Amino acid sequence: MRTFFKIAGYSLLVFFILPQKIYAQLCEGSLGDPVVNITFGAGDNPGHSLGAATNYNYVTDGCPNDGYYTIANSIGNCFGDTWYSTQDHTPGDGSKGYMMVVNASYTPGDFFVKRVDGLCPNTTYEFAAWIYNLLASFACSGHGIKPNITFNIETPSGKVLQSYSTGDIPQNLGWKQYGFFFSTTVDINSVVLRMTNNAPGGCGNDICLDDITFRACGPLVSAAINGSGDSVDVCTGDTSIFTIHADVSAGYSDPVYQWQQSTNGGNSFTDINGATDSVYIRPATDTPARYLYRLAVSQRQNRNVSSCSIYSNVVLVGVNKYPVIDASTMGHCIGDTLFLKANEGFQFLWTGPSAFSSNEQNPFIPVATAADNGKYYVTSTSSKGCTSKDSTIATLTTPPVINAGNDQEICEGSSVQLQSTGSNYITSYQWLPSTGLSDPKIPNPIASPTETTLYILQAAHDVCIVPDSLLITVDKNPVANAGPDKIIIKGQSATLEGAAGGTDVDYLWTPDVNISGRTSLSPVVNPSTNQIYVLNVFSNKGCKTATDSMLVKVYQQLYIPNAFTPNGDGKNDTWYIETLLAYPGAEVQVFNRYGQKIFDNNGKYIWWDGTFKGEPQAPGAYVYLVDLKNNTQVIKGIVYIIR
């Protein structure tokens, strides 16, 4: 059985019911919204398996081997760069849109299978897909196998109603759409769409597949505004009424019309009540938006069934707001840069004092003079031709003359009065930071900073502010620390451990008795009797002097106490060998009458509290050994615990 279907002035011979193989016949008329629209979605790599929709095996690898496929955003660097690099075809999906990547098997297999229900009777549909031959022309020694794909439309029971073969798909074509027509009869409302690989196995036969569609195809419907273009732009408040007219070519025996509108960029369209003629008179609209219009056409028996309708091209009426300029100026002083600013627009025209003119959005005058005072006008035109005007006034003030004064240097804890000078028309002063100032809003405050500080003085004449600065250096007062007391045996020496702080200081130890290196923080002393030494720290900046003292205690010989009373009364509770401080690292051990070692200082502390493992020891005699670690004989003796 056969029939003729006329599209765009051509009579197309379309076969159905009997299995036929035809060649590419993409719709040259107008298409409906897709009944099937397989874009494979979007997301992060890789996409999900298609399950039973294909005979191929799913893998997550971006470069599948023979008999496998993956769902990916893009592909590249496969098999030694013998595949072309490409990415998802679907417009608007961005970098995360998916496509199907297939490395075809040696035997024929179904790339894609989809059942479609709810088809309209006596309606022509286009079955199409975008295909990319991935194999590079130099691969397989230039003899790679070219993909060859059959599009089948079948009954749900498997009877082939119509077929189309792409033939061998050449290389270097990039993405290309393939497809054909199919017409239903009154008894066909469900079909199965099938895409099958025909090419033999071997090197090649590798494709990307995307945007598989099945949608109504009908007469060519061409819409225009006021008999000419497909778009027009007006500004808010324009009361123009536009006539949108559609020409519908022959093809439907009893067509019905319905105009539709979209205000969301074409994501969805809604019917316009009463707009059921091929001409639509659009009333004026004051709300800014991008208004899209299209005409839906269908056979009368299929009216109000979206899957049976075809649509005209989309026409646009843009209602555009006027630019919100909000003109302003920045710059308050003569001699400053005067900045002019406008918020919105595509084209600008500024005019102002002294014949100023500029086409910049935000022009500036590098060094403003008194002649640049006055009102500036700006005309802003949007990209759609909507024009707004605004103005702004530049008020430039003579800047004050200010000198914060000379840098100062003071001692810690001292103060200094600042001595700024300036023009007599200064209206306000502000010192920053305010820390350490008696009053930060007067020209000459008293400054008492605790650390070196850079002070900035801002002097204002009306709204014109000029800064200047000075540095106050705070010299830290001397700090002296003579260090810990020392214990020596007569004839020994000790190194003092002094420390000093402050800005630019010198040191001197007094008195000058048995001391070497008096101007060092670590002199060596060897007094014959107890001696107090004083560390004097002097400021070269004229600040205060600091002193501290320490004691060098001199023993005539090593003294080891022979008894102690660890009874907790706070008197003689430990066996403390003070003179061992003269022998750093000396080791002390104590043994009970059984020869058990019950105390070992391990060369560290020099006292024993009369316990062993936390338990008080009985009164009586205990043997001690003292090793001074100075190559002398170990000292042995008796110490008594008295309770």
In angstroms, the CA 21 to CA 151 distance is 9
Q: What share of the chain is helix, strand, coil (3-state, %, to 5)?
A: 5, 45, 50
Confidence at 603, pLDDT banded by 50, 70, 90: confident
Indicate the pTM of the whole model: 0.57
Judged against a pLDDT cut of 70, whether residue 17 lies above it is answered with: no
Confidence at 638, pLDDT banded by 50, 70, 90: very high
Q: What pLDDT, on a 0 to 100 scale, did the predictor assign at position 331?
A: 81
- CATH 3.40.50.1000 matches 2-218: no
Confidence at 615, pLDDT banded by 50, 70, 90: very high
Tell me what percent of the residues of the chain surpass a pLDDT of 90: 76
Cβ burial 446-467 (10 Å sphere, 16+ → b, else e): ebbbeeebebebbbbbeebbbe
Across all residues in the chain, what is the average pLDDT? 91
What's the CATH code, domain 222-320? 2.60.40.10
Q: What pLDDT, on a 0 to 100 scale, did the predictor assign at position 13?
A: 32
Q: How far apart are the first and last CA of the chain?
A: 129
Mean pLDDT across the stretch 75-103?
92
Judged against a pLDDT cut of 70, whether residue 435 lies above it is answered with: yes
Between residues 306 and 89, which one has the greater pLDDT?
89
- CATH 2.60.40.10 matches 328-394: yes
Report whether 388 contacts 324 (CB < 8 A).
yes
Backbone conformation region of residue 211, classed left if phi is above 0, alpha if psi is from -120 to 50, else beta: left
Q: Which two tokens stand for residue 432?
A: 């920053």
Q: Give how far the C-alpha of residue 445 lies from the chain's centroid of Cα atoms, to the nearest Å.
A: 47
Q: What pLDDT, on a 0 to 100 scale, did the predictor assign at position 626?
A: 94
- Sorted by sequence, the CB contacts under 8 Å of residue 89 that are 6+ apart come out as 97, 99, 130, 132, 175, 208, 210, 211
Q: Using one digit for the tens of pLDDT, what is the confidence trace for 237-294? A: 999 999 999 999 988 889 999 999 999 999 999 999 999 999 999 999 889 999 999 9
Mean pLDDT across the stretch 568-576?
92
Of residues 190, 242, 185, 251, the one with CA closest to residue 27 = 251
Judged against a pLDDT cut of 70, whether residue 24 lies above it is answered with: no
Q: What pLDDT, on a 0 to 100 scale, did the predictor assign at position 247?
A: 93
Q: What pLDDT, on a 0 to 100 scale, did the predictor assign at position 224?
A: 95
Residue given tokens 């043997």 in the structure block: 623
Judged against a pLDDT cut of 80, whether residue 25 lies above it is answered with: no
Confidence at 226, pLDDT banded by 50, 70, 90: confident
Q: Using one digit for the tens of pLDDT, what is the confidence trace for 515-530? A: 999 999 999 999 999 9
Q: What pLDDT, on a 0 to 100 scale, did the predictor assign at position 22?
A: 42
Backbone conformation region of residue 67, classed left if phi is above 0, alpha if psi is from -120 to 50, else beta: left
Q: What pLDDT, on a 0 to 100 scale, did the predictor assign at position 410?
A: 97
Q: Minimum mean pLDDT among 10-14, 41-45, 114-118, 191-195: which range?
A: 10-14
Tally of CA atoms within 13 A in the half-sphere of 257 that contains its CB: 20
Nearest-10 Cα torsion for 575, 579, 582, 588: -30
In angstroms, the CA 394 to CA 306 distance is 61
Cis peptide before 433, with omega less than 30 degrees from 0? yes
Mean pLDDT across the stretch 142-170?
91
Q: Which two tokens stand for residue 139?
A: 């691969």
Q: What pLDDT, on a 0 to 100 scale, did the predictor assign at position 302?
A: 84
Mean pLDDT across the stretch 358-377?
96
Mean pLDDT across the stretch 334-355?
95
Judged against a pLDDT cut of 50, whether residue 532 lies above it is answered with: yes
Q: Which two tokens stand for residue 598?
A: 């019950």
In angstroms, the CA 104 to CA 115 distance is 23
Q: What pLDDT, on a 0 to 100 scale, did the predictor assign at position 9?
A: 34
Judged against a pLDDT cut of 60, whether residue 4 lies above it is answered with: no
Report whether 275 contacts 323 (CB < 8 A).
no
Q: Minimum mean pLDDT among 3-17, 176-190, 192-206: which range?
A: 3-17
Q: Which two tokens stand for residue 36?
A: 């099937």
- Sorted by sequence, the CB contacts under 8 Å of residue 21 that are 6+ apart come out as 150, 163, 164, 165
**DSSP secondary structure, 255-314, as one string:** EEEEEEEESSTTS--EEPTT--SSEEEEPP--S-EEEEEEEEEEEGGGTT-GGG-EEPPP
Report whether 31 contacts 311 (CB < 8 A).
yes
Judged against a pLDDT cut of 80, whether residue 16 lies above it is answered with: no
Assess whether the region 328-394 and the region 402-475 belong to the same CATH fold. yes
Mean pLDDT across the stretch 377-394?
96
CA dihedral sign, ordered 272, 273, 278, 280: negative
Q: What pLDDT, on a 0 to 100 scale, did the predictor assign at position 253?
A: 87
Of residues 198, 69, 86, the one with CA closest to residue 136 = 86
Cβ burial 334-344 (10 Å sphere, 16+ → b, else e): bebebebbbee
Q: What pLDDT, on a 0 to 100 scale, did the predictor assign at position 100?
A: 95
Burial of 176 (0-12, 13-18, 19+ CB in 10 A): middle
Residue given tokens 């002019």 in the structure block: 340
Q: Minimum mean pLDDT among 11-25, 290-304, 393-407: which range?
A: 11-25
- Sequence spans of domains, the chain: 2-218, 222-320, 328-394, 402-475, 479-555, 563-641
Phi, psi (deg, nearest 5) at residue 196 = -125, 140
DSSP-derived pairing of the beta strands 279-282 and 289-299: unpaired
Q: What pLDDT, on a 0 to 100 scale, did the predictor assign at position 201?
A: 66
Q: What pLDDT, on a 0 to 100 scale, did the predictor assign at position 5?
A: 36
Q: What pLDDT, on a 0 to 100 scale, did the predictor assign at position 106?
A: 75
Report whether 276 contacts 256 (CB < 8 A).
yes
Query: What distances in angstroms separate CA 217 from CA 5, 161, 164, 214, 280, one per listed residue?
Result: 10, 18, 17, 9, 23
Phi, psi (deg, nearest 5) at residue 581 = -60, -20
Mean pLDDT across the stretch 405-429?
95
**What is the topology classification, in CATH, of domain 402-475?**
Immunoglobulin-like (2.60.40)
Q: Using one digit for the tens of pLDDT, what is the confidence trace for 535-565? A: 999 999 999 999 999 999 999 999 999 999 9
Confidence at 505, pLDDT banded by 50, 70, 90: very high
Mean pLDDT across the stretch 134-155?
91
Match domain 563-641 to its CATH number in 3.30.70, 3.90.1150, 2.40.70, 2.60.40. 2.60.40
Judged against a pLDDT cut of 90, whether residue 14 lies above it is answered with: no
Q: Which two tokens stand for residue 537?
A: 């720290």
**Helices first, then strands: H and E counts in the chain:** 0, 59
Tell me what percent of the residues of the chain surpass a pLDDT of 70: 96
Judged against a pLDDT cut of 70, whether residue 20 lies above it is answered with: no
Q: What pLDDT, on a 0 to 100 scale, did the predictor assign at position 278?
A: 94
Confidence at 428, pLDDT banded by 50, 70, 90: very high
Alpha helical stretches, state H, 27-71? none
CA dihedral sign, ordered 352, 356, 358, 360: negative
In angstroms, the CA 451 to CA 464 distance is 31
Match domain 479-555 to its CATH number in 3.40.50.300, 2.130.10.10, 3.10.310.30, 2.60.40.10. 2.60.40.10
Q: What pLDDT, on a 0 to 100 scale, did the predictor assign at position 1?
A: 28
- Paired with 204 in beta bridges are 145
